[in-house]
Every structure is written in structure tokens, then in C-alpha cells.
Structure 1
Amino acid sequence: MRILVTGGCGFIGSNFVRLILSERPDWEVVNLDKLTYAGRLENLQDMADNPRYRFIHGDICDPQAVAEAMRGCQFAVNFAAETHVDRSLLGASHFIDTDVKGVLVLLEEARRVGLARFIQISTDEVYGSIEQGSFTEESVLNPRNPYAASKAGGDRMAYAYWATYGVPVIITRASNNYGPYQYPEKLIPLFVTNALRDEPLPLYGDGRNVRDWLFVEDHCRALLFLLEHGQPGEVYNIAGGNERENIEVTRAVLRLLGKPESLIRFVADRPGHDRRYSLDASKLHRLGWQPQVPFEVGLERTVRWYVDNRWWWEPIKDHDGEFRRYYELQYGARLA
């Protein structure tokens, strides 16, 4: 079996590549990654010499690169995406290019070569915000920020290729991921790394926005499960079952690090900040998958990883000019 993983040098993609190489000894992995700011070769440096692993530097918007990468593959999982809401508020064009046009290029090649299975990684954000209850796979899509809208476009493009051409597509919509190798712009890795340096933790609004947290290893195992047991043409919600207010998560991070809550800085909220996300994942549960990592266990493991792997994140925060520009643009005025 040969599987194409796009965006395999990113956070979730690299964890998925590592899982496949570890638990499917007869599978080969081809990793196509553009190596944008969040896609880093360091994420898979321990896999670089594995004879069952091949890295291709390329863009999913490039049909030639996609054709080379997909050659001989039976499966494909598309992690490649621009993923950060805050960045989409600063400029959405890259999100449309990768999250919609790139998906189209992948689907065209999957159709041409007769791929056996194609998983499109979507997100719970395509549903929008929900005050009570939980979204099911049949809920209306109502994305409320440019990132969510771009992911909804790729999500529906994938379904269209199933409905129109019979490409064996499975669409997954997962809740907020956390874990090792997550670029330090998202809430948990940003707050962990800031707290380790006694820097302020910029918490949007009143801190009471609710997210459901899914440990990245659980997400990857769900995707592997769906590759082998999911039904083409179906959408599956993947939830951790760990709804927490952002202020709760922030305080938990500080407790684990032994840092004071005085590091919390409530800052001006971002535009269109969805209040609550919540997924009903009973469809996937009935198929036979359940998350295994409780939030408290996963958060402790995650915090410990960042404590033990300063070599990984300190160069980003100290020497990556792109990260510094983004951080100043997003938080400079808010923290002033």
C-alpha cells in the first residue's frame, strides 16, 4: 500500500505520517509539502531515513507536482491547508488558493488515476457557531470567517467530485487539535511557550469562547480508521468530547507550568470570533472509533513536550522574522 499525505510536514500531517510508518509496516508514505511557515522538515527529521518514506517538495496547486506525488498511490489524505483564522483575517487570498484551488487539483488527479480512497480534512468551523446542542454531519454549513469559508469550499468541492465523478471521497470535520509539533501561533502552543518565558498570554475577549479539544494522536487514529472502514461519499465528525472555555485551558496550562495567572492579558477580541463549537460524533462512534486520550492527560503530555523540546520552538520565536512580524501585527497593539 502506498499513501500520499499532503501537508505531511505540518502539525497534524507529521503526526499522521509517524503513525502510519509505525503501525502499518507494509505501507509506504509519500509526503508532498510546500514547506510554508508551519510546514517544517524538523517535524519528521526522525523519519527522513526510513526507506518507506519519501518527501517531495511541492505545492498542491501545481498539477505536475501532484501527478508525481500521487503516482502509484492507492490512498491520499489531504492535510495541506492554510489553517489559522487570525491570519485569514489579515488576508484571505492564500487560503482560497490552497484550501479550494489546491483541493481541486488533487481531486482531478485522483479522478485521473482512479485512487481507491481520498480523505479531505475539513474542520468543525465550517458549521459556524452554536450556542446550545451540537452539530451533526447534516447540519447546515455557515462559515463565519475567511478560513472557515475556504475550508467549506474545499469540503464541498470534494463532495462534488464524489457526486459527479464517483471519486471515492471521505470528508472529515474535526474539532480543535492540540499536541506535539503544533506551530506556536495557536492557543495552546502559544500560551505554553509564552508562559515558559514569563511573557503575557493574550486571551481574546472575555476568554469564555468554547472549543472541543481533540488530541492529535486520537485524530490521526480516527483518520486511519476511516481509511480502512469509512464509506465513500460520507462526512464524519471527529470530536474529542472535551469542551472547555479558553480561560479554563489557559489556567490549566499555567497550573501545569507552575506559572501565575497574572500572565493572562485579556485583549481586544478578534472580528467574528465564534462563541462555541460543538460536534456530535456519534456517527463515527457507531462505526467503531472512540477517542482514547482524556484532555487532562493530553494537555499534560503536550505541555511536557514543549518543555522538553525548546530546540524545536525557540528558533521559531527567536529567529523566524515571519513569526515576529505576524505576532506584532496580531498582538502588538492589543498588548500595548
Structure 2
Amino acid sequence: MKILVTGADGFIGSHLTEALIQAGYDVRAFVLYNSFNTWGWLDHIDKTVREQLDVFTGDIRDPFGVKQAMQGCDVVMHLAALIAIPYSYHSPATYVETNINGTLNIVQAARDLGIQKVIHTSTSEVYGTARFVPITEQHPLQGQSPYSATKIGADQLAMSFYQAFNTPVTIIRPFNTYGARQSARAVIPTIITQIANGKRQLKLGALHPTRDFNYVRDTVRGFMAFLKTDKCLGEVINIGSNYEVSIGDTVRYIAELMHAEIHIEEESARLRPQKSEVERLWADNQKAHDLLDWQPEYAGVTGFKRGLQETIEWFTNPDNLKRYKADIYNL
């Protein structure tokens, strides 16, 4: 089975690519073209794994390159996207081009080439602030940021190809994934890198919202479970821990694990507009259990703290920490 992973150079994509190679799959990694010829996080995975990769450099917005990358592949795992919510406030057009048009390029090429399966990546942000918890896949979709609006559009577009053309699309909807290699635009790396760099007066945004944090190993296991079944075609499936925790409690857990006494300073630049803030996320993962035989290994407060500890160990490695600029706000 030949698998194309788009966004393979990113946080989740690099972990997924690495796991697929280790599991014996033939993988083509679609990475964003750049003049430095860098492959993002794939440059930093184990050399023996990296040497087995078939790397394609391109741009998900280019339909010709996308179709070329998909030639000869059986499955496409589509992760390429712009995901930073604050950046979507002032550059929304780039999110439409990347998230919506990029997804159109994938499903159109999949239809033309007869791809066996397209696994399209969604996000829990499409639900907006929870109207009921835990959040099932039947929860209404609410675009509370340009980012989430484009992901709703991408999801609907992908599913329309399943409905209209029987393109074999399935949608994975991960909740808040965290772990090694994550961008400091996300809250957990922001907290860890500030403390690791000696700061005790932390600059953060809102502390009251709750999230369902999902350790990256669990998210990757969710992606890989889709490869082993055809029961999920035309389905949307949450991948979440079914554990709700506030940002404030998350800060306290990290400070405890890092043995640091901290004080928190709310920085206005890090706050979302009031109506755009997603106040509550908590995943119902029963469907993933029923259709994928998947359940989180890092569940509950104990699993969350174990995942945080592993994440802290990676970020506090000097070779990793130096890649982050903890003294500035990562938009």
C-alpha cells in the first residue's frame, strides 16, 4: 500500500509519517516547497526512517502538483493546512486558499485517479463552543474564527465528493493534539518553553476555557486505525481523550511537573475576540471505539500528566528548546 501524507513536514504529519514507515508502509511525504530544501520536522526524525521516505516538495494550493504527488498512491492522508487561529484573523484569504482549495485539489485528484481512500483531517474547532457535552459527531458546526470556518468548508467539500461522486472519503476529527514538535503558537508548548527558559512570570491568554487534549501518539494511532477498515467511508469520527480540563489547570499541572513556582500575566494580544473564543471542548469518542476499535492510551488526568511529562522531556532537551523563541508571542 502506497500512502501519501500531505503536511508530512508538520507536527502531527511528521509523527504520522514516522509511525507509518516504522509499521512497514510505503510512504510518500508531501512537504511544502521552499528554497532552503528543508523538510520541516522530517529533517529531525531518525535517519534510518528518513532514508525510506519518498519526499515530494510542492504546494497543496497547486492542483497540478497535488495530482502529480498522488500518482501511484493507494491512500491519501490529508493533513496539510493552515491552523493558527490568531493568524487567520488578519490573513483569512490564505486559509481559504490552503484549507478549502487545497482540499478540493485532493478530492478532485482522488476522483480522477481512482484513489482507494482519502482520510481528510478536520478539527474540533469546527464545533465552536460546546452546546452539549461530551461533543458527538452530530454536534452543530459553528465557525467562530476564519480558521474554523475554512475547516468546516473543507470538511463539507470533502464529504460532498463522497455523496456526489462516491469518492472514498472519511473524516478524522482530532481534538487538541499536543506533544513533541508542536508549534509554540499552541498553549502547552508556550507554557513549557517559557518555564524552560527561566521565566516565572508567564504571558498567556484566557485561562477559563476548557479543552480535550489528545496526546500525539493517540492521535497518530487514530489515523492508522482508519487504514485497517472500510467501515468508515463517508463517516466523521472524533479522536479525543474524553477528558475535559481548563487551560488554568493545564498551566498548574505543567508547573508542578517542572517544579516551578509561577505567576500568570494575561496578555491582550493572546486573547481571542470574545465571540470567537471557543469556551468548551470535550470529546465523545464512542464512535471511534465502535468503528475503529480505538481508545486513548493517555486518558484522564493520569494519562494527561503522563503525556505532559513526555512532552516536557522533549522540549527541555537543549537541542529542541533552542528551536523555539520563547521571548516573543508566536502568532
Q: TM-score, normalised by structure 2?
A: 0.90
Change in CA separation of 1:183 and 1:28 when aligned onto 2, cut-off 3 Å: same
Aligned partner letter, 1:314: K
Please say which of residues 86-95 and 293-302 is displaced more in the overlay: 86-95
Structure 2 partner of 1:62: 62
Contact 2:243 2:282 in 1 (8 A): no
2:319 is equivalent to residue 314 of structure 1: no
Q: Secondary structure at the match of 2:238?
A: strand
Structure 1 partner of 2:251: 250
Q: Secondary structure at the match of 2:198?
A: coil
% identical aligned pairs: 30
Aligned partner letter, 2:129: S
- Shift in Å, 1:177: 0.3
For residues 170 and 244 of structure 2, the distance between their equivalents in structure 1, rounded to whole angstroms, comes to 25
Change in CA separation of 1:257 and 1:40 when aligned onto 2, cut-off 3 Å: farther
For residues 209 and 148 of structure 1, the distance between their equivalents in structure 2, rounded to whole angstroms, comes to 17
For residues 131 and 163 of structure 2, the distance between their equivalents in structure 1, rounded to whole angstroms, comes to 32
Give a deviation string over 1:16-58, Cα, whole Å, max 9, x none: 00110112x2x2111112168xx96352233565453111111
Q: How does 1:325-336 map to 2 (within 5 A)?
A: 327=330
For residues 79 and 40 of structure 1, the distance between their equivalents in structure 2, rounded to whole angstroms, comes to 18
Structure 2 partner of 1:285: 289
Give a deviation string over 1:249-278, Cα, whole Å, max 9, x none: 11111112122122x212333212111012
Instruction: Find the partner of 1:304 among 313, 321, 325.
Output: 313
Contact 1:193 1:306 in 2 (8 A): yes
For residues 153 and 128 of structure 1, the distance between their equivalents in structure 2, rounded to whole angstroms, comes to 14
Superposition RMSD on alpha carbons, in Å?
A: 2.0
Q: How does 1:35-54 map to 2 (within 5 A)?
A: 41-45=39-43, 46-47=45-46, 50-54=50-54
Aligned partner letter, 1:282: Q
- Shift in Å, 1:222: 0.7
Give a deviation string over 1:185-218, Cα, whole Å, max 9, x none: 110111111111133422223x110000100110
Q: How does 1:217-228 map to 2 (within 5 A)?
A: 217-228=217-228
- Unaligned runs of at least 5 residues, structure 2: none
Q: Secondary structure at the match of 1:250?
A: helix
Aligned partner letter, 2:320: W
For residues 40 and 274 of structure 1, the distance between their equivalents in structure 2, rounded to whole angstroms, comes to 34
- Unaligned runs of at least 5 residues, structure 1: 331-336
Structure 1 partner of 2:278: 274
Give a deviation string over 1:132-189, Cα, whole Å, max 9, x none: 4222112221121111101111000000000011110001111100001111111011
Structure 2 partner of 1:94: 94
For residues 35 and 86 of structure 1, the distance between their equivalents in structure 2, rounded to whole angstroms, comes to 24
Instruction: Find the partner of 1:29 among 27, 30, 48.
Output: 27
Q: Give the count of matched residue pairs.
A: 316
For residues 47 and 164 of structure 1, the distance between their equivalents in structure 2, rounded to whole angstroms, comes to 42
Aligned partner letter, 2:290: R
Q: How does 1:191-210 map to 2 (within 5 A)?
A: 191-199=191-199, 200-205=201-206, 207-210=207-210
For residues 116 and 194 of structure 2, the distance between their equivalents in structure 1, rounded to whole angstroms, comes to 44
Q: Secondary structure at the match of 2:122?
A: strand
Q: TM-score, normalised by structure 1?
A: 0.89
Aligned partner letter, 1:82: L
